[in-house]
């Protein structure tokens, strides 16, 4: 099998590159000149960028080989996500890889502002020693307000507890359980959080709330504002004005609307502001983790697996091994059902049971459709674009919930036709086949399986076994199932090697044989 080709347009870090090169042919640049990227796009299975390049619709279109694009960082604003999704291109990023770095930098800015560290350093270097002029403020018992309790926001809360601060947060997308788990007071109203924050820090993507002058004026007197997330989340002119008025005590700013900021930027001339050149995620440790997380996600996506850092699919928040096991179960379920069901005359019905939960449904719907359509359409189809491809095919998937305390179960059938059902479960992480064509079975899913559907008559099993032996193929296990005596039955054989097409043809010619299938889904 040919190794995938991957283009890395900016420095990724030696560990990430080393990991990529174990599995792919990699062309890596410290900084590929942006004008050179368009002519190279069509020659690679994956392209990894950082901040210097933009992957627009025009760049993404017309490259059938391109399967994955990645932004080696937390954001993905420089990737046209809508275009990538329509084209079936997986988009990978590295969320949380630099969360600790960004949180620590936030506190670096905060301490610099509260204790006048930058101004004090300059004062000493200029021969001064006026300690009274640089009287600082403590973090102890200060009220910290966090906008966005995601990966970075949670790390900020963790550090704040070490300073014994009072920590509150606003994040309308999280359940109350998340706030409780991180010992953070929940504020459902942004304005109320601002009014109760001696120190306000924001950690959201660009789609987060915009702190304009009206909101900033709701801060308590002498508050401190921090932005180490995204430029534009805080109105720079309004913040500068409040600093000049003395309404806000100080600010720590790592990101700007325009980077680098113009020399006449209002924040650069406002009092009590500490600035840094977008250093939030810039640590050696974060760079290593960003590179490794990006590399792992790209290689998993190229292998048709579901990486946890896939952006344009609603990936559930599951431990890695649980996500991988469920992803495998979905692929097996969808592709087996697709082969068993030649004509689709009814909507598909996906039933979820056991300890699965409703939060998985958006991802599972797309993943099942992708697996079902994998061998049925000529165009590229994967979890990224499965909903759009299914709509073009006129295919409908319904979902039924039957959650309980049992092992996770998934079944797929044509609505109203129980004889078409295929069901699988996860038993202690092992994929189990529970039902095939409506016939109950209970066996671990093998790497290779030969399945026959036949009339339940004497001699069928022996004839199948003899014919398989004639092709010098060893049978590992054999499982039989049937609805009733003398009606339709099935046989599942696990094989040590792939069955050739000639064997399948000869099996189909046997008396009482209705259908023969070969499955090799890993």
Catalytic residues: 230, 259, 278
Distance separating alpha carbons of residues 336 and 317, to the nearest angstrom: 27
Tell me if 521 sits within 8 A of 336, measured CB to CB.
yes
Sign of the CA dihedral running 352, 354, 358, 363 = negative
Tell me if 434 sits within 8 A of 425, measured CB to CB.
yes
Sheet holding 90-92, edge to edge: 25-28, 5-8, 46-49, 68-71, 90-92
Tokens of 268: 């650069």
Q: Using alpha carbons, select from 272, 301, 221 the residue that is nearest to residue 47.
A: 301
Tell me if 186 sits within 8 A of 138, measured CB to CB.
no
137 C-beta neighbours (distance < 10 Å), count: 16
Q: Using alpha carbons, select from 117, 137, 100, 103 the residue that is nearest to residue 226.
A: 103
Tell me if 197 sits within 8 A of 144, measured CB to CB.
yes
Tokens of 26: 């990699």
470 C-beta neighbours (distance < 10 Å), count: 10
C-alpha of 284 from chain center? 24
Give Cβ neighbours of residue 267 (< 8 Å, ≥ 6 apart).
236, 239, 240, 251, 253, 256, 261, 273, 275
Helix, strand or coil, per DSSP, at residue 368: helix
Tell me if 230 sits within 8 A of 205, measured CB to CB.
yes
Tell me if 346 sits within 8 A of 417, measured CB to CB.
yes
Q: Which single residue is written with the structure tokens 């006048």?
A: 116
């Amino acid at each position: 099998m040919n190794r995938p080709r991957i283009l890395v347009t900016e420095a990724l870090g030696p560990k990430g590159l080393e990991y990529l090169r174990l599995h792919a042919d990699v062309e890596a640049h410290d900084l590929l000149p942006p004008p050179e990227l368009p002519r190279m796009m069509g020659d690679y299975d994956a392209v990894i960028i950082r901040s210097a390049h933009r992957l627009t619709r025009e760049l993404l279109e017309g490259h059938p080989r391109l399967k994955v694009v990645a932004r080696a960082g937390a954001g993905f604003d420089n990737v046209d996500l809508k275009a990538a999704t329509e084209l079936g291109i997986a988009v990978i990023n590295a969320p949380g890889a630099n969360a600790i770095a960004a949180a620590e930098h936030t506190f670096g800015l905060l301490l610099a502002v509260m204790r006048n560290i930058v101004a004090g350093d300059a004062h000493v270097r200029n021969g001064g020693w006026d300690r009274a002029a640089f009287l600082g403020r403590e973090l102890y018992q200060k009220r910290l307000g966090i906008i966005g309790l995601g990966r970075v926001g949670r790390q900020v809360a963790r550090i704040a507890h070490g300073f014994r601060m009072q920590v509150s947060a606003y994040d309308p997308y999280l359940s109350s359980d998340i706030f409780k788990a991180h010992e953070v007071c929940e504020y459902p109203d942004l304005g109320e959080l601002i009014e109760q924050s001696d120190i306000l820090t924001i950690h959201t993507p660009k789609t987060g709330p915009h702190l304009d002058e009206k909101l900033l004026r709701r801060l308590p007197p002498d508050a401190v504002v921090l932005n180490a997330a995204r430029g534009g989340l805080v109105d720079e002119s309004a913040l500068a004005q409040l600093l000049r008025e003395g309404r806000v005590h100080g600010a720590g700013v790592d990101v700007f609307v325009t980077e680098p900021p113009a020399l006449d930027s209002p924040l650069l001339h406002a009092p009590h502001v500490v600035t840094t050149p977008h250093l939030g995620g810039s640590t050696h440790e974060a760079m290593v983790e960003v590179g490794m997380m990006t590399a792992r996600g790209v290689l998993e996506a190229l292998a048709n697996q579901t990486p946890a850092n896939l952006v344009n699919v609603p990936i559930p928040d599951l431990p890695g091994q649980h996500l991988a096991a469920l992803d495998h179960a979905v692929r097996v379920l969808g592709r087996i059902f697709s082969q068993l069901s030649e004509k689709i005359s009814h909507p598909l019905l996906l039933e979820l049971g056991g300890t699965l939960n409703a939060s998985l449904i958006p991802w599972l719907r797309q993943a099942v459709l992708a697996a079902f359509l994998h061998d049925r359409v000529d165009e590229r189809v994967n979890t990224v674009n499965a909903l759009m491809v299914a709509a073009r095919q006129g295919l409908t998937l319904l979902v039924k919930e039957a959650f309980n305390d049992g092992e996770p179960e998934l079944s797929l059938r044509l609505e109203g036709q129980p004889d078409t059902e295929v069901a699988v479960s996860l038993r202690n992480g092992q994929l189990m086949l529970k039902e095939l064509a409506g016939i109950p079975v209970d066996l671990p899913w093998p790497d290779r399986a030969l399945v026959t559907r036949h009339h339940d008559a004497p001699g069928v099993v022996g004839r199948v076994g003899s014919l398989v032996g004639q092709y010098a193929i060893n049978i590992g296990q054999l499982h039989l199932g049937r609805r009733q005596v003398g009606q339709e039955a099935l046989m599942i054989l696990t094989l040590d090697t792939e069955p050739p097409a000639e064997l399948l043809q000869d099996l189909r010619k046997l008396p009482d044989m209705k259908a023969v299938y070969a499955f090799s889904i890993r």
